[in-house]
Structures are given as structure tokens and as C-alpha cells.
Amino acid sequence: MGAAESIKTNYLNALKEAIDEEMYSDQEMICLGEDIGNLGGAFGVTEGLLDKYGSDRVQDMPIAEECIVGAAVGAALTGRRVMAEMQFIDFISCGFDQIVNNLATFHYRTAGEVAMPVVIRGPAGGYGGGALYHSQMNEGWFCHSPGLKVVCPSTPYDAKGLLKSALRDPNPVIFYEIKELYRKKSLEEFIPVEDYIIPLGKASIRREGEDLTLVTYGQNVYHCLEVADKLEQEGYSVEVIDIRTLVPLDEQTINNSIKKTSRVVTVNEAPRTCGFAGEMLARVCENAFEYLDAPPARCTRLDTPVPWVKPLESFVLPTVDKIFNVCIRTLKY
């Protein structure tokens, strides 16, 4: 792709471009959140939007997530498309009632008459020393709530394409952004200048392999790719699948990979109990058990809050070494 057709950008700017382009194409779309106007968001994702679209469409809200989501639900009921930002995804819990009891259910309880075109997005994840209040991956809560779609991109290209797709969806979407990837220089890539979307519910095979399937999303994609490199030195060929969308989940891509490799390890940085890594393994056992030559395995965060001190943070979260060890046990079973 030539220079005139693409531009090199990072994860954060890709998200900003997605919101800007969708606001430009839909003059009724609004943005709600804490400090998203004058400050441009805590990380700068909404920087410049207030000047471009005005305070009627880019609205700074009180530090009250339930109020933010409730206002988003009300705006959607009047036909507006809404992007609601959580300053940190950890505090989405403060808006939990509005999300799971109102936002997620309106389409169902109106027999399909009412759409809820709302995207709730925000920075998530650990590995940055954010400690217990700024390191959470709580996506399991919303995967468990019928009516919600859940997305977590790992690349700038996917971040833009998936966010644009989410913003155009008539259903509510919870959109997890990995803050440690926002400005990571090594992840910058060329993305098209022209409009594009990535359909929700379609996984991406980041690396093809024959001996084992690694299934993951978000920041753990890069840990798994590094593990695949290390295992290649041991003589193993590993396939890495980035699911990108948790709900709906692309089970076909996962199952097709397992038919080829006969072994699977899932990885997520959320806690082990009721985490999405376990959900993926359950579905593998239901639909692809006959193709397995080893017990399916997972590598997750421990069932504990994320500590601040770096050695303790690494002890709690999945790391390259931990994933590698789980893969070796599975390969040698």
C-alpha cells in the first residue's frame, strides 16, 4: 500500500481517528465521559474533538459512571448514537446496574423495537504498575450479560476497524482498550486512509503453526507470539489466534486450528476463576474434544488483585515464561 493510501499510526491515534470519522459521518453521534472535552481524555483519545464538534456533542460528565451510562441509555432511546468513555475500565463497576439491567436488556424487553447503539470504551489491563485500581480486566462480567458485545483489539489496525464497527452496531458494545499499547512505538503500523471496518466476531490468526494452538486477546497476544518464537527454537510450530471479539466468539477459527494442531492453551490476564480463558476451554471441550491429544490448558492471572511492586505484579499476571511452561507441559503430554 502506498504512502498516499495509508498512514503510520499508533494504537491510541487509531482509536481517535475512528471516533472522529464516525462523528463526522453521523452528525447525531455524541460522546460522554469524564474530562473528554477540555482535557481530551485522561490518555488523549478524545483530544481535539471538543473544538471540532462542540460541547453539545462532546460532553464532560460528572465523576459518576452510573450517570454517564444512564445518560447514554437515555440518548440512545431518542435515536442518538453514543460513545461513553470510562476514564479507567476498572471503574465501569460503578455503572454496572445501568449496563446490565438497562443497556443490555432494552432490545430484548421491547421485542426488538428499540436499538441501543452505545459503545462503552476505556483503558484496561495491567503490566504497567497501575496496582489494584488501575490494572483490571473485568471483561468476564459483561461476557456473562446477554445483550452485550465485548471487544478487545491488540493492534492499531484492529483498534480502528473494530471501534468503527462497534460504533455502527445497533447493539451495545463494551470496548476494552489496552492502555500499555496506546503509544507503544514498536506496534505502530500503516493503516488505510480510506474507510474500513473489521466485522465483530471474527478472529485473526497472528501466526500459523502445526503443533499447538494458543488462543488469546489484548496484550497477551504479544506474550504468546514471543512464546511461539521460543518454542520454535525447541522445534515446535505454534499457531497464535487473537480472538479480538469475545462476544460473539469466533469458535470456528479456534476449532479449525485445533483440528490441525490437536493441542490448545488459552491465555488471559483476568483472574482464573470464571475468566474468559476458561470459557474458551469449555467450548473447546464441547465442540472439539475429539481432536485433542492432550488436556486443554490455560494461563491466567492469579485470583488476587494486581500488586503495584513490579516483581509481585509479574508473579500475579501471565508472563512469557509462565505461558511457555504451560505450553511445554501440553506439548509433552
Strand-pairing partners, residue 123, are 177
* 73 contacts: CB under 8 Å, gap ≥ 6: 98, 102, 103, 106, 116, 118
Report the SS3 class of residue 243: coil
Angle made by CA atoms 228, 234, 237, in degrees to the nearest 5: 45
Helix axes 276-287, 251-261, angle to 10 degrees: 70
Active site annotation includes 134: yes
Cell numbers standing for residue 167: 460504533
Query: Of these residues, 107, 134, 144, 223, which one is catalytic?
Result: 134
Contact at 8 Å (CB) between 220 and 244? no
Which residues in 312-326 are b (16+ Cβ under 10 Å) and which e?
ebeebbbbbebbbeb
Contact at 8 Å (CB) between 150 and 245? yes
**CA–CA separation, 181 vs 207, rounded Å?**
20
* 228 contacts: CB under 8 Å, gap ≥ 6: 207, 209, 214, 238, 240
H or E element that contains 159: helix 156-168
Q: Which long-range contacts (CB under 8 A, 24 or more apart) does 309-315 make?
A: 310/129, 313/126, 313/127, 313/129, 313/135
In 179-273, which ranges are E strands? Answer: 189-192, 204-207, 212-216, 238-242, 245-247, 264-271
| Residue 263 CB coordination number (10 Å) | 23
So which residues are the catalytic ones? 134
